[in-house]
Amino acid sequence: MAGLNMNITPAAGHIGAVVTDIDLRDLDAEAVESLRTLIGEHLVLAFPGQGSMTDEEQVVFTSHFGGPYIHPVARAMGVTEFTSGRIIDDVDHPPFQDKWHTDVTWDPTPPTFGCLRMVDRPERGGDTIFSSTHAAYDALSDAMKSSLDGLTAWHTMGDETAFRSKAGDAVVDATLAIAPGAEHPVIAVHPVTGRKHINVNSEFTDHIVQMSRPESDAILDFLYAHCANPNFAMRWNWTVGDVVLWDERPTLHFAVADYYPRRREVVRVNVR
Active site residues per annotation: 101, 103, 253, 268
Residue 188: closest CA among 213, 166, 168, 205: 205
Helix (H, G, I), strand (E, B) or coil at 44: strand
Give the chain's radius of gyration (CA, Å): 18
Residue 56: closest CA among 22, 11, 10, 24: 24
Per-residue burial over 63-97, b if 16 or more Cβ lie within 10 Å, else e, is ebbeeebbbbbbebeeeeebebeebebbeeeebbb
Show the CA angle centred on residue 264, arms to residues 163 and 161, nearest 5°: 10
